[in-house]
């Protein structure tokens, strides 16, 4: 537990230094405002679902991958090999920090755009947490074999855009 706490602290500092929190809050406010003013009130619930499918997954996937590329570039991952931190702690820390932040983003969007949408908040948190964790793991897995962002984007676009977003077409 002490190792995981140390990695969590390190991840939060890295994410703050990398401006991921500022970017995420900005994206959440922008999505919230778009949903509020571009989607009619009677379709607000569907707009929120679309946000959770598209943006929540996209940000955790891309943030997880970008952190991995950043740590590869700074040789942090090589340094971690000789430390007491295990791969499990590293991956779990990324999932916990990014999923928690995804839930914060979700709360911001919901607060701005909900317009009286009746929501089951425990179920909404559970769904957001599962989506955030799933996409974080997916982003790390898709980014791991690549050394450059440009080589990562095409296969990720295929997986993320063509298969994982099919529920969006239902909306």
Q: What is the pLDDT of residues 103-114, one digit of tens each?
A: 999 889 889 988
Angstrom distance (rounded) from CA 18 to CA 169: 33
Distance in angstroms (rounded) separating the CA atoms of residues 152 and 171 = 28
Alpha-carbon span 85 to 74, nearest angstrom: 17
The pLDDT confidence band at residue 13, using thresholds 50, 70 and 90, is very high
pLDDT number for residue 138:
87
pLDDT one-digit tens code per residue, 80-98: 777 888 889 989 999 999 9
pLDDT band of residue 9 (cuts 50, 70, 90) is very high
Cα–Cα distances (Å) from 113 to 43, 46, 85, 152, in that order, read 11, 11, 41, 33
| pLDDT number for residue 171 | 64
Give the integer Cα–Cα distance in Å for 117 and 58.
Answer: 23
The full DSSP string for the chain is -HHHHHHHHHHHHHHHHTTHHHHHHHHHHHHHHHHHHHS-GGGHHHHHHHHIIIIIHHHHHHHHHHHHHHHHHTTHHHHHHTSS--HHHHHHHHHHHHHHHHHHHHHHHHHHH-TT----HHHHHHHHHHHHHHHHHHHHHHHTT-SSHHHHHHHHHHHIIIIITHHHHH-
Radius of gyration of the chain (CA): 17
Tens of pLDDT, residue by residue over 23-65, are: 989 989 998 999 899 988 888 888 888 787 777 777 888 888 8
Residue 140 scores a pLDDT above 70:
yes
Predicted local distance difference test score (pLDDT) of residue 44: 86
User: For residue 168, what pLDDT band results from cuts at 50, 70 and 90?
Assistant: low
User: Is a pLDDT exceeding 80 seen at residue 160?
Assistant: no
């Amino acid at each position: 537990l002490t190792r995981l706490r140390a990695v969590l602290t390190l991840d939060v500092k890295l994410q703050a230094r990398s401006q991921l929190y500022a970017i995420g809050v900005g994206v959440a406010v922008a999505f919230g405002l778009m949903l509020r003013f571009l989607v009619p009130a009677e379709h607000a619930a569907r707009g929120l679902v679309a946000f959770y499918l598209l943006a929540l997954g996209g940000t955790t996937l891309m943030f997880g991958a970008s952190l991995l590329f950043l740590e590869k570039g700074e040789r942090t991952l090589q340094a971690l090999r000789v430390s007491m931190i295990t791969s499990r702690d590293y991956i779990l820390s990324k999932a916990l920090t990014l999923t928690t932040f995804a839930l914060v983003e979700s709360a911001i969007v919901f607060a701005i755009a909900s317009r009286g949408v009746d929501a089951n908040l425990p179920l909404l948190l559970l769904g957001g947490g599962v989506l955030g964790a799933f996409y974080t793991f997916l982003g790390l897995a898709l980014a791991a074999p690549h050394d450059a962002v440009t080589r990562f984007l095409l296969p990720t676009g295929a997986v993320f855009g063509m298969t994982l977003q099919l529920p969006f077409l239902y909306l």
